[in-house]
Amino acid sequence: MALTRIGLAGLAVMGQNLALNIAEKGFPISVYNRTTSKVDETVQRAKLEGNLPVYGFHDPASFVSSIQKPRVVIMLVKAGAPVDQTIATLAAHLEQGDCIIDGGNEWYENTERREKAMEERGLLYLGMGVSGGEEGARNGPSLMPGGSFEAYKYIEDILLKVAAQVPDSGPCVTYIGKSGSGNFVKMVHNGIEYGDMQLIAEAYDVLKSVGKLTNSELQQVFSEWNKGELLSFLIEITADIFGIKDEQGEGYLVDKVLDKTGMKGTGKWTVQQAAELSVAAPTIEASLDSRFLSGLKDERVEASKIFQGDYSTGLPVDKAQLIEDVRQALYASKICSYAQGMNIIKAKSSEKGWSLNLGELARIWKGGCIIRAIFLDRIKKAYDRNPDLANLLVDPEFAQEIMDRQAAWRRVVCLAINNGVSTPGMSASLAYFDSYRRDRLPANLVQAQRDYFGAHTYERVDMPGSFHTEWFKTARNSKI
């Protein structure tokens, strides 16, 4: 056989689908997996799905030697130690100038470490975020490659065809930047995804618990929302979920799903990075806390017995008004969540000298990925208007949209509180907006307290310099 254009190691669901996508776009691909049955399964799928040019290999040496030089191998294996093990297996057969690409959800510092180690061996390295799940991998994901620009140019033609295609803005891939920037951007993308999903869940909870909407009504509402400014993948699949009947019992399947949310760590990493960078990300943090609380199912069941009672106001609710208010509250909260994510990326870019283009990130998220939404086009335009935008909230268009929606937003949060329904994401977003828009916060008192007990000093609003007051002595003398 002739040499293939590229190789892929790691044939779980994502790896298989991405390999088939690459082959379908006309690029012959070699595949390898430590468990050889996965190799045979992938080759068989390729035959069934159009006799695609996928060639399987059961040992790493023959796998690597089947790829044209300079060789490029994509890894799609579990983050952490398995990546290091796969690199060691592949690198033993690679030559100077060859390239390894990690397509998993890896911690960005691991990518930086590996890039340096590979450079010492004369190999190129890319850390590439891949978003869109198995469907995206097969039919067009959003791709976020970062690291060696030379390595990116090796496979740019492949990535441009394999990525999701958006008619008005092109392929959902771009060279993100140096070092671990691709993995970092994918991590924050997932953090934004956490916030988005939590806000949608809260909208559902308010409509169901306070508005008493049925699943059929919820499906109709979300389907309608998906025709306007909230049009997105997550709103679309949410509408679908509400319409699925339970095949193993009565009623709808969504009501039978256990209320415990899983996670794989990228949301936690995003919150940790926000704290490290001193960037406020309360909506994303609230979504993470909500997942932690959901995991305490047994404790919550017991607590519900202790805190029994009807927490609803019992007041009549105008369904149509509530639906419209929740729609506006969801959109306004969503702006805050994306603003926080973009600020985390901007801060890390500044710290590391990555020079990331926030508008371009919004563009490649418009298709293929989990957070794809019509809303992202607005974000791209905001950063196109002002690449140095301090915060998405102060973009003139978004600022006006927030102002137009804040009355409905406040009504929803107040209604939820008064009816004992938790809306941590919407509440955190509203608090973020209310803090950001105020020219003076009660932080003066906190700083005074710090100076009182720890002599941490403070600045004054009426004169320059750093000051310390012996608050205790002054207070004690005033009492004598």
State the DSSP string of 48-81.
Answer: HTT---EEEESSHHHHHHTBPSSPEEEE---SSH
Give the pLDDT of residue 480: 64
Running DSSP on this structure, what letter comes out for residue 255?
G
What residues are annotated to the active site? 186, 193
Annotated binding site for substrate: 105, 131-133, 189-190, 194, 264, 291, 450, 456
Give the pLDDT of residue 477: 87
The answer to whether 174 and 360 are in contact (CB under 8 A) is yes
Region of 292 please: left (phi>0), alpha (psi -120 to 50) or beta: alpha
Give the pLDDT of residue 263: 84
Region of 132 please: left (phi>0), alpha (psi -120 to 50) or beta: left
Q: Is the dihedral of CA 399, 229, 237, 224 positive or negative?
A: positive
Mapped onto helix, strand or coil, the DSSP state of residue 155 is helix
CA 453, distance to chain mean position in Å, is 40
Which residues are bridge partners to 128 per DSSP? 145
Phi, psi angles (nearest 5°) of residue 170: 90, -165
Annotated binding site: 10-15, 33-35, 77-79, 105, 131-133, 189-190, 194, 264, 291, 450, 456
Please give, one letter per residue, the 3-state secondary structure of 107-131. CHHHHHHHHHHHHHCCCEEEEEEEE
Annotated binding site for NADP(+): 10-15, 33-35, 77-79, 105
Q: Extract the tokens encoding 212.
A: 């008493």
Pairing state between β 99-102 and 124-131: parallel
Spatial neighbors of 85 by CB under 8 A, at least 6 apart, are: none
Residues 287 and 478: their CA atoms lie apart, in Å, by 47
Running DSSP on this structure, what letter comes out for residue 377?
H
Q: Is the dihedral of CA 181, 185, 186, 190 positive or negative?
A: positive
Low-confidence ranges of the chain (pLDDT < 50): none
CA 412, distance to chain mean position in Å, is 25
- pTM over 0.85? The answer is yes
The answer to whether 426 and 413 are in contact (CB under 8 A) is yes
Q: 399-427 as b/e, with b when 16 or more CB fall inside 10 Å?
A: eebbeebbebbebbbebbeebebbbbbbb
Q: Extract the tokens encoding 445.
A: 């008192």
Q: Extract the tokens encoding 185.
A: 């951007």
Give the pLDDT of residue 235: 96
Q: Extract the tokens encoding 182.
A: 């691709």
